[in-house]
Structure 1
Amino acid sequence: MDFHLLPLIAVAAIFILAGFVKGMIGLGLPTIAIGLLSLFMPPAQAASLLIAPSLITNLWQLSGPRLLELSRRLWPMLTGVCVGAWLGGGILTGANAGRAVMALGVALIVYALVGLSAIKLSVPRNAEVWAAPLVGIATGFITAATGVFVLPAVPYLQAIGLDKDDLIQALGLSFTVSTIALGAGLLHDGAFETRAALASIAVLIPTFIGMYAGQFARERVSPATFRRWFFLGLLALGFYLAARAVS
């Protein structure tokens, strides 16, 4: 990594922004961080920086009284995440870096369009038996390929009828497992080294600064308005990354 002053400032600013979004709406940290970091470093390197902030913030988010019950309900999806991450191993690293940027751009575009749409999905409880593993495998594969683990897990969790508090906790649980699967894949591929681990721990500071600022702003800004601009920004970033990958 090039740790001259300008890259350090850019990385810190990105994690402040990503933390702000996380504090504001409860998700978006990996999406923002990977997307913006990939503008000036390989996606695998960006994913390595993400590991500690994502793991720590999501461990905090998943804590709650219904963790065991949610784990029992979601374990097929979470197991699928691990399987999918194993199947997608190696896509994010080495000679696949160019394709990873393209995949990341496409993933951001799809996620933004889903977020901007007014479509409300619904998954019946009896359909979770077959839907959960498929969603998990797809999420794990996309995680391994792009470093972003929101699709299709987030729309699925929003569609299975969880109340607000359970949804926030379930998102934290899903993101934690996805982060661990991503870290294990990077470690296996030799892309997560000691220096990357130390840098990942260091960016916890700007991440938490952003999170506290986001929690403060959440009381003063309409979440619906913020989410709209958040998804529009992701849409623009996704198109830029996809266009850069094919140029």
Structure 2
Amino acid sequence: MSNTELVAFSGQGIAVWAFVAAVFTLAGTVKGVIGLGLPTLSMALLAVWMPPAAAAALLIVPSLVTNVWQLQPWATLRRLTRRLGLMQAGIVAGTLVGAWCLGAPAGAEASVALGVCLICYATWGLLGRPLKIPASHERWLGPLAGLVTGGITAVTGVFVLPAVVYLQSLELSRDELIQAMGLSFTTSTVALGLALAGQDSYSTPLLGASLVMLVPAIAGMALGQWVRMRLPVPVFRHFFFAGLALLGAYMVLRELRL
């Protein structure tokens, strides 16, 4: 999608932007409850109504800020970064090379790829069991997981697979896992922002809109943290992943016209 087309989209009416704000509120709520899902759910819902490149551009600021928030506690971040450094390098390389080879997420192919990614992610979330990777394999498997995650990010704008699966296989504590996902998602967000800028897919109007969408995203996160204290997380996760699977199937069938 060209920069001119993205600027034209940014001039949509109040009803469209109210819908976008509602999406970020919902996505922030999901992230507040289970620690992930803001970019995944945002891309899934927004891509139904707008070009994937525009959706990816809108999520940059809310995703970055909420993920940096998730990096706490700062005292343990340096040690975790050393352990996952090669994975982060792989994410950056995979995203930039993927964007250079394939361009910013756009067109029916990007929507189908996003739909397939959502189905796979939801299926794993509902049925999958955490893997266990020996520490001796982290040196080569971490960069590989990062490269694949970066490639998927470049194509779909979603950066949960296979990063989350890999991180959960490291047998981190609950707090370490939340922090590790925050680190991976922050790296992916920065890399995606650089990739979109390099493809002329991040216009000034969309940057301003992305900044505005930070407000509903943070409000949603606060709401999600409140919900997390009152709703069994396993129940919420099942509804969340089931909804993603249905949405992904709809996106694939719509584009393939089956």
TM-score by length of 2: 0.93
Instruction: Give structure 1 stretches of 5+ with no counterpart.
Output: none
Shift of 1:92: 5.3
3-state SS, counterpart of residue 133 of structure 2 = coil
CA distance in 1, matches of 2:130, 2:190: 30
1:202 to 190, 205, 212: 212
1:13 to 3, 9, 22: 22
Contact 2:103 2:199 in 1 (8 A): no
Contact 1:61 1:169 in 2 (8 A): yes
1:115 to 119, 125, 147: 125
Q: Paired residues, what number?
A: 246
1:238 equivalent in structure 2 = 248
CA distance in 2, matches of 1:208, 1:115: 24
Shift of 1:8: 1.2
CA RMSD of aligned residues (A): 1.1
**Aligned ranges for residues 129-140 of structure 1 at < 5 Å?**
129-140=139-150
Shift of 1:149: 0.2
CA distance in 2, matches of 1:83, 1:9: 35
| CA shift in 2, pair 1:136/1:118, >3 Å | closer
CA distance in 1, matches of 2:177, 2:208: 31
What residue identity is the alignment partner of 2:67? Answer: N
Instruction: Give structure 2 stretches of 5+ with no counterpart.
Output: 1-8
| CA shift in 2, pair 1:118/1:80, >3 Å | closer
Contact 2:58 2:207 in 1 (8 A): yes
Deviations 1:38-62 (A, max 9, x none): 0110111000000000000001101
2:52 to 43, 59, 66: 43
Shift of 1:63: 2.3
3-state SS, counterpart of residue 252 of structure 2 = helix
CA distance in 1, matches of 2:149, 2:15: 34
TM-score by length of 1: 0.97
Deviations 1:116-137 (A, max 9, x none): 0142211111111111011000
| CA shift in 2, pair 1:92/1:221, >3 Å | farther
